[in-house]
């Protein structure tokens, strides 16, 4: 008789599917202020606990507490709030624009706005971020013209990318925003290379790479971390863990076993796990990592714990694979509400001012959209078809020249 254990294949499954009761009990959330803040030059061995804690500053009452809290200029916070609200208003509008057939595609970052916005405001103007499609807030926080975002989304005659790219795959060099692409993960190593170049040139600039928690499974993730660790690249590597990758929960990327911040330990790098819905925590963690980078202490991996409130994109219906009320169960709240509450607690903000701002920003987006509509939405206006043949190489070769002729322009 065979008394050996029968092997069985484990397939991770989320805690709740449509029709079931959502729970986030599996997400370990220490209290605000509970996780310590080591010196930026602490020894690696003394930072191995960080990936299992969580950098949180705002407590349930909207007070800034604990070692990661610092005196912050209320004006800075108000600007952050403004950019987050602006992002949300803008995205809601564009989502509707998709329904109206004005664009082929759109994606929202609802619930995750603090990450792109706070990091955009914390890093220097000449630093470079290597974005995912879920940090439109970076551009908005830096004042990138919303009308240009819409023109890109419309692929119209004023599209800064000349109709060559899918909507929201922006590129904005002057705003520290590297060219996006549809492939996930493949720019993570570019951030490391860019940072290595800055170090090679004895420059001061640092890089920030973004990746979704689902995408950490790509080889690119590991290769970027390896190079970052080996060459002590001045880079911040940010995992935005919004719990979902299209229909796939984070357990399929490894979340059943450990945190994404813990990946850092394997490379001898510090790994911060951060409340991604806490604007102040995002700022504090980013500052800490940026100081490390700027002082030749090398790379930091940051996991931002957040939640994808909307569907993956306009092509997605999340109620097909998760309970429709899952978003309201998310324990880290809404980044906009939390920062608003903090500012109000500080006496630096009010519901009235908030409503007024919201109205203003809605109007601003409306104006921008009107301007873009005037140029034309998808199908109504597009750049000259010559643009299709430009930019394959720096100088066109005979193939595109002949083909352009064959095409008739």
Ligand X SMILES: Cc1ncc(C[n+]2csc(CCOP(=O)(O)OP(=O)(O)O)c2C)c(N)n1
Site residues (CB under 6 A) for ligand X? 132, 134, 182-185, 212-215, 240, 242, 244-246, 308, 312
Is 148 one of the binding residues for a copy of itself (CB under 8 A)?
no
The item of Mg ion, another protein, a copy of itself, none sharing an interface with residue 242, based on CB under 5 to 8 Å by kind, is Mg ion
Which residues, listed in sequence order, are joined to residue 300 by a DSSP beta bridge? 236
In the complex, minimum distance from the CB of residue 90 to ligand X, in angstroms, rounded to a whole number: 17
Are 80 and 117 in contact by the 8 Å Cβ rule? The answer is yes
Q: Which of these, 183, 258, 192, 265, lies nearest to 223 by C-alpha position? A: 192
Report the residue from 42, 72, 157, 217 that binds a copy of itself according to the rule CB under 8 A: 217
**Quick check: helix, strand or coil at residue 55?**
strand
Report the residue from 1, 9, 43, 328 that binds a copy of itself according to the rule CB under 8 A: 9
The item of Mg ion, a copy of itself, ligand X, none sharing an interface with residue 9, based on CB under 5 to 8 Å by kind, is a copy of itself
Structure tokens at 137: 């807030």
Which of the residues 366 through 405 are near another protein (CB under 8 A)? 378, 382-383, 385, 387-389, 391-394, 397-400, 403
Structure tokens at 282: 């995002």
Are 103 and 167 in contact by the 8 Å Cβ rule? The answer is yes
Give the span between the Cα atoms of 151 and 159, in whole angstroms.
Answer: 5
In the complex, minimum distance from the CB of residue 257 to a copy of itself, in angstroms, rounded to a whole number: 3
Report the residue from 198, 240, 314, 341 that binds a copy of itself according to the rule CB under 8 A: 198
Q: Which of these, 7, 18, 4, 10, lies nearest to 319 by C-alpha position? A: 18
Residue with Cβ nearer Mg ion (22 or 376): 22
Residue nearest to ligand X (CB): 212
Report the residue from 40, 236, 264, 388 that binds a copy of itself according to the rule CB under 8 A: 264
Is 219 one of the binding residues for another protein (CB under 8 A)?
yes
Q: Which positions ≥6 away from 236 have C-beta within 8 Å?
A: 119, 206, 207, 208, 209, 286, 289, 290, 293, 299, 300, 302
In the complex, minimum distance from the CB of residue 250 to ligand X, in angstroms, rounded to a whole number: 7
Is 122 one of the binding residues for a copy of itself (CB under 8 A)?
no
Which of the residues 297 through 336 are near a copy of itself (CB under 8 A)? 298
Is 179 one of the binding residues for a copy of itself (CB under 8 A)?
no
Give the span between the Cα atoms of 246 and 62, in whole angstroms.
Answer: 32
Residue with Cβ nearer another protein (300 or 381): 381
Dump strand ranges (E) for 137-275. 207-212, 235-241, 244-245, 248-249, 271-275
């Amino acid at each position: 008789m065979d008394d050996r254990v029968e092997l069985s294949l484990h397939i991770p499954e989320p805690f709740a599917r449509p029709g079931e009761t959502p729970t986030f009990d599996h997400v370990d959330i220490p209290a605000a202020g509970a996780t310590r803040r080591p010196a930026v030059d602490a020894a690696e061995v003394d930072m191995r606990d960080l990936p299992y804690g969580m950098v949180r500053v705002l407590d349930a009452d909207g007070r800034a507490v604990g070692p990661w809290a610092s005196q912050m200029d209320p004006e800075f916070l108000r600007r952050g709030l403004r950019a987050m609200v602006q992002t949300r208003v803008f995205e809601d509008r564009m989502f509707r624009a998709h329904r109206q057939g004005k664009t082929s595609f759109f994606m929202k970052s609802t619930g995750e706005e603090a990450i792109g916005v706070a990091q955009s405001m914390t890093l220097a103007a000449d630093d470079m971020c290597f974005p995912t499609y879920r940090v439109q807030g970076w551009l908005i926080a830096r004042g990138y013209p919303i009308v240009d975002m819409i023109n890109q989304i419309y692929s119209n005659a004023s599209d800064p990318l000349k109709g060559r790219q899918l909507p929201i795959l922006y590129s904005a060099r002057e705003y520290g925003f590297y060219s996006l692409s549809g492939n996930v993960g493949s720019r993570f190593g570019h951030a490391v290379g860019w940072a290595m170049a800055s170090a090679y040139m004895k420059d001061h600039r640092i890089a920030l790479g973004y990746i979704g928690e689902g995408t950490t499974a790509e080889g690119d993730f590991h290769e970027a971390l390896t190079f970052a660790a080996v060459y002590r690249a001045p880079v911040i590597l940010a995992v935005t863990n919004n719990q979902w990758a299209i229909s796939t929960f984070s357990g399929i990327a490894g979340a059943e076993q450990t945190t994404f911040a813990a990946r850092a330990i394997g490379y001898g790098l510090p790994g911060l796990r951060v409340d991604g819905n806490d604007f102040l925590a995002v700022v504090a963690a980013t500052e800490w990592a940026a100081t490390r980078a700027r002082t030749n202490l090398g790379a930091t991996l940051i996991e931002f714990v957040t939640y994808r409130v909307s569907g993956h994109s306009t092509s997605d219906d999340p109620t097909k694979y998760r309970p429709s009320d899952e978003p309201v169960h998310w324990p880290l709240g809404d980044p906009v509400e939390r920062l608003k509450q903090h500012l109000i607690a500080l006496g630096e903000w009010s519901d009235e001012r908030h409503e007024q701002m919201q109205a203003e920003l809605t109007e601003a987006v409306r104006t921008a959209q009107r301007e873009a509509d005037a140029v034309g939405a998808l199908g109504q206006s597009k750049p000259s078809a010559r643009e299709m043949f430009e930019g394959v190489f720096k100088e066109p070769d005979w193939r595109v020249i002949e083909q352009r002729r064959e095409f008739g322009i």
